[in-house]
Amino acid sequence: MDRLQEFQVAARGDGFVEVQDNEDGSVAWFRNALPDPETNVHKRLCIDSLTSSATVYWETAGSKLNSKTFRTVGSMRAWLSLNSAR
């Protein structure tokens, strides 16, 4: 299984659902099925085939936008498991 498919499997396993497909097929967008309880905003996830990476976007109290980019599936899974418990 190539890395992009592994990112997609990890995303779906953490409750992300695909929401939009890029016409040129270079990125896939996902969002959490449930919004974060603190902000009522869904996390977003972009899997980018050009950079072989995944970036999670989320909002914290005070409407601050944050992001974290992952180059490996293992690091994304570890971060998601730590941040899903919040």
Give per-residue pLDDT as tens, 36-53: 888 888 999 999 989 999
Q: Give me the residue label for tokens 């890029």.
A: 22
Round the average pLDDT of the chain to a whole number and report it: 88
Helix, strand and coil in the chain, % to nearest 5: 25, 35, 35
Who wins on pLDDT, 20 or 11? 11
Please state the pTM of the whole predicted model. Answer: 0.86
The closest of 14, 8, 82, 84 to 47, measured between CA atoms, is: 8
Better-predicted residue by pLDDT, 60 or 54: 54
